[in-house]
Chains A and B, each alone.
Chain A
Amino acid sequence: MSLIEEIREGVIEGQANVVLEKVRQALEAGESAEVILNQGLISGMQRVGELFEEGTVFVPEMLIAARAMDKALTVLRPHLVEAGVQPIAKVAIGTVKGDLHDIGKKLVAMMLEGSGFEIMDLGINVPPEKFVDAVRQGAQVVALSALLTTTMPNMKDVVDAIDQAGLRRQTRVIIGGAPVNQNYADQIGADGFAPDASSAVRKVRELVGV
């Protein structure tokens, strides 16, 4: 198995330390950071995403795989910058006001970052105006998370606030979380919905046209 394949396998298995070590070895061996990223980390994470969608693996496996990727990125990032690899787009992400549950948001943020997006993590319980500020600071995508039906209406408040600030045309809004669906996204005027973390990455890519 090549080092790249070992990195890919390590991500799938969620072995952060193995992945970290293999990424270092690959860099020392002269492998390009972009190849390590795309064929190792992202490819591995995509596989985990597929397994999740098939129902073969669950949230814990997704989390440890994303963590492995995230750790490896800390080593890889300076090399990516050096090689002139630019972020695809800037994504502001957070759980909406009232929602304190951030496992899903964390996972999506890690996966987006691994897929080449720049992440502005606004955290949990984020009021609409903070999302608006993020758009002013250049967020091309706003990703909203809610676990509770109680806080779902606050997603609409964010869409409305961005609209009222006159910024709706320069950003795309994607929503996710256990109780939301495409129908709800349509009703509140969001641009997209994703039922899980790997489809969130696909959807965000689609929204920014890559």
Chain B
Amino acid sequence: MTHYIALTCSALARSVYAAAAVAEPVVSVRLFDQGLHNAPRSLRGRLQAAVDAVTPGECDAILLAYGICGTATIGLTAHHTPLVIPRAHDCITLYLGSRRRYQDEFDAYPGTYWYSQDYLERNPSSSGVALGAASIQVSESIYQQYVEKYGQDNADYLMEVMGEWGSHYNRAVFIDTGLGDGAIYEQRAREQAEKRGWRYEKRAGDRGITDRLLSGRWSEEEFLIIPPGHRIVQAVGDQLVQAQAVTDEPPET
């Protein structure tokens, strides 16, 4: 029987488990904390370590339930088992079901803060972790560290500069994947929007990409398959990523 191992961001936990439950292949899900994209190199190291820990013949493919995620997945290398990754900037594409739909949303409102049940239920409000690739919120505890380290004047300046992105954002969107009871999380997203003066919207999620990833329906258009001896590199154009044979050249990240 076909067996896949899915390395999964916790932000997509429900979608991935739901897909795994009904997928014909046996899928072993390995979860990684959300927000690790804040330190792309470190996340890359952890994902590569997980890939490397798979023994030859243990599974038919290693699935990455990730996007580029701030370049965290760029450079990941397949040794003996193929890797499969959706062509996506980040989890918002996997939530919305296509990169076209994400792009349209992005073009309409570049300053969008995304929310979902998975994200909110795993995210203490002070963590400073955002869904998607942008995440530069500065929390109160960091402010206190700044005061101690650099003095009040500099701390205020840093808060102003590093928190300024928020003033350019103008929309909160709660994505409803249709899994679980998200009512209290939707309410929390609405409150956040109100607090920050953002317009609030709700979108129906589309779990199609995750379903197709886990069930092995990998079209060239939607997924990149990285054969053994290849690594993931960024590509110019809509395909976003491509596989590059591993040579002596160092990875481009």
Let me know if A100 and B169 touch, CB within 8 A.
yes
Query: Which of B40, B89, B236 contacts A150 (CB under 8 A)?
Result: B89
Let me know if A179 and B68 touch, CB within 8 A.
yes
Residues of the A chain whose Cβ atoms lie less than 8 Å from the Cβ of B52: none
Number of interface residues of A (CB under 8 A): 33
Cβ of A118 within 8 Å of any chain B Cβ, yes or no, is: no
Let me know if A60 and B158 touch, CB within 8 A.
yes
Query: Which of B90, B136, B253 contacts A181 (CB under 8 A)?
Result: B253
A residues 106-153 in Cβ contact with B at 8 Å: 106, 124-125, 147-151, 153
Residues of the A chain whose Cβ atoms lie less than 8 Å from the Cβ of B133: 147-150
Let me know if A178 and B158 touch, CB within 8 A.
no
Residues of the A chain whose Cβ atoms lie less than 8 Å from the Cβ of B240: 149
Given the contacts A150-B106, A178-B40, A102 and B164 also touching, CB distance less than 8 Å: yes
**Residue interface bits B161-173, CB-to-A below 8 A is 1, else 0:** 1101100110000
Interface size class, chain B: 35 or more
Query: Which of A14, A187, A188 contacts B150 (CB under 8 A)?
Result: A14
Residues of the B chain whose Cβ atoms lie less than 8 Å from the Cβ of A150: 89-90, 102-103, 106, 133
Of listed A64, A182, A184, residue having the most chain B CB within 10 A: A64
Let me know if A178 and B71 touch, CB within 8 A.
yes
A112 to chain B: closest CB distance in Å? 17
**Residue interface bits B74-109, CB-to-A below 8 A is 1, else 0:** 000000000000000110000000000011001100
Residues of the B chain whose Cβ atoms lie less than 8 Å from the Cβ of A125: 110, 168
6 nearest interchain CB pairs?
A100-B168, A98-B110, A183-B252, A64-B154, A149-B68, A187-B236
Residues of A within 8 A of B (CB): 14, 16-17, 59-61, 63-64, 67, 98-103, 106, 124-125, 147-151, 153, 156, 178-179, 181-184, 187-188
30 A–B contacts from the bound complex (CB under 8 Å) = A14-B150, A16-B153, A17-B153, A60-B158, A63-B161, A64-B157, A64-B158, A67-B154, A98-B107, A100-B110, A101-B134, A101-B136, A106-B161, A124-B168, A149-B68, A149-B71, A149-B89, A149-B133, A149-B240, A150-B103, A151-B110, A156-B236, A178-B71, A179-B68, A179-B234, A183-B233, A183-B234, A183-B252, A184-B234, A187-B236
